[in-house]
Amino acid sequence: MPELAEVEFFRRQWDCGLGKQIVAVQLHVRKRIFRGSDPRVMARRLTGQRFLRSHARGKQMFLEFSGGNWIGIHLGMSGRMRTEAAGFRAEKHDHVVLQQARRALVFSDARLFGRVRFHHGKTEPAWWRTGGPEIGSEQFDRKFLDSFLDRHARAPIKAVVLLQAGFSGIGNWMADEILWRAKIAPSIPAGRLFSAQRAGLFRETRFVARESLRIISPNFDDPPRNWLIHQKWKRAGICPRHGSPLRKEIIGGRTTAWCARCQK
């Protein structure tokens, strides 16, 4: 589920706990979402600390607690965040429960592709300083995009738009949406895009990222009816522009839907 806008939506689900103390921590300690960190240390350190702030960058989330304690969350394929009433008892897939006086902050993940990392220290952990530039930022400009495309010149553009080092926060549905809007066929090698196509790719990447954040992250509202996302999962999806049947194929290792009539 989670790409840029959904990640931001889930991050906000814990905002009602900001500034409040964590009175108890319950973790499913043996689950692989904790790979690379020690969940027992995490539980011990966080207990009694206050939840100070959180940020999202692409699909990564970063939560800061008092006492120099930090959590990084990646939602993977099926990660979710929500709140429950104080004293909530974790169910099967609720791997992290941070109990506060008035509520419980819950992270759940059925498929376990997600990841929860813990860091204790005065400064931000190295893993928070990695990753590509945010799509709305000045660093994500035509020059950056051009060099990224040239670096991956032989890969199909669909695969390149999924690379987080260049297209931070873009996932499968946003990639198809962007290529459809830019009228670029997903299997074209990135290095073969003309200048005008690159300009379109840049423009539509920024548009889809900005609009998805604006529309989806506050309340998980649906994008407009004329977006490709409403068609791409259907068995017989059609191009929102002119109703041609969409084609589907595995490109870049992922199911890809596109309109052969308008994407060249």
Partner DNA sequence: GCTATTGTTTCTGG
Partner DNA sequence: ACCAGAAACAATAG
- In the complex, the residues that contact DNA under the rule CB under 7 A are 1-3, 6, 32, 58-59, 74, 76-77, 92-93, 110-113, 151-156, 159, 162, 164, 171-173, 190, 233, 252-255
In whole angstroms, give the CA distance from residue 72 to residue 251.
Answer: 30
Among 262, 256, 223, residue whose Cα is nearest residue 242: 262
Query: Taking the complex as a whole, how short is the minimal distance between the CB of residue 254 and DNA, in angstroms?
Result: 5
* C-alpha–C-alpha distance, residues 217 and 161, integer Å: 21
Q: Which is nearer to DNA, 38 or 68 (CB)?
A: 38
Closest to DNA by CB, 43 vs 161, is 161
Distance between CA atoms of residues 171 and 58, nearest Å = 10
CB of 161 to DNA, least distance (A): 11
The position carrying tokens 């300009």 is 199
Q: Measured between alpha carbons, how far is 26 from 97 in angstroms, rounded to an integer?
A: 5
Q: What is the DSSP letter of 185?
A: -
Minimum separation from the CB atom of position 94 to DNA (A): 12
Q: C-beta of 28: minimal distance to DNA in Å?
A: 10
CB 65, min distance to DNA, A:
22
Helix (H, G, I), strand (E, B) or coil at 208: helix
Q: Which residues pair with 261 in a beta bridge?
A: none
| Shortest Å, Cβ 107 to DNA | 15
CA atoms within 13 A on the CB side of 80: 12
245 to 172, 177, 237, 255: CA distances (angstroms) = 19, 15, 6, 16
Question: Measured from the CB atom, is 83 or 172 closer to DNA?
Answer: 172
User: Shortest distance, CB of residue 82 to DNA, whole angstroms?
Assistant: 16
Nearer to DNA, 1 or 52 (CB): 1
What amino acid occupies position 95?
H
Of 14 and 173, the one with the shorter C-beta distance to DNA is: 173
Cβ closest to DNA, residue 22 vs residue 75 = 75
Q: Where do we find the tokens 């059925």?
A: 110
In angstroms, the CA 21 to CA 32 distance is 27
Nearer to DNA, 30 or 242 (CB): 30
